[in-house]
Amino acid sequence: MNESMGVGRAVVLPVGGEFHLKLGKDRIYYAGMPSEEVYSLVQRKSMGYQGYAWNLYYHKRQRDITIDGVRLHVESVTSEDIAIRPE
């Protein structure tokens, strides 16, 4: 699933789902929950044919995060999917 920025509307990403933060910004992927209290997002930068990515880990209770300067609110998170809303 490939989603793009829609300010104010929630986006639900299944594990492996992709979200483009906005033009000129990175893409993120939901990587699931490595434990019951932690969820993971992958941040990916790319230019042409080159790119790199890394995992970001957050406590399940952390609902407001910033990735590549874009503020996101996590509405819900399970081991199956995550609902995020750009602010």
SS (H, E, C) 63-81: CEEEECCEEEEEEEECCCE
Q: For residue 3, what pLDDT is reported?
A: 54
Distance CA 43, CA 8 (A): 21
Q: What is the pLDDT along the chain (87 residues), one digit of tens a residue?
A: 555 545 578 999 999 999 999 887 899 999 999 999 999 999 999 888 899 999 999 999 999 999 999 999 999 999 999 999 998
Q: What angle do CA 61, 10, 6 make, to 5 degrees?
A: 130
Contact 65/58 with Cβ under 8 angstroms? Answer: yes
Q: For residue 23, what pLDDT is reported?
A: 80
Q: For residue 48, what pLDDT is reported?
A: 83
- The amino acid occupying position 69 is G
pTM of this structure: 0.86
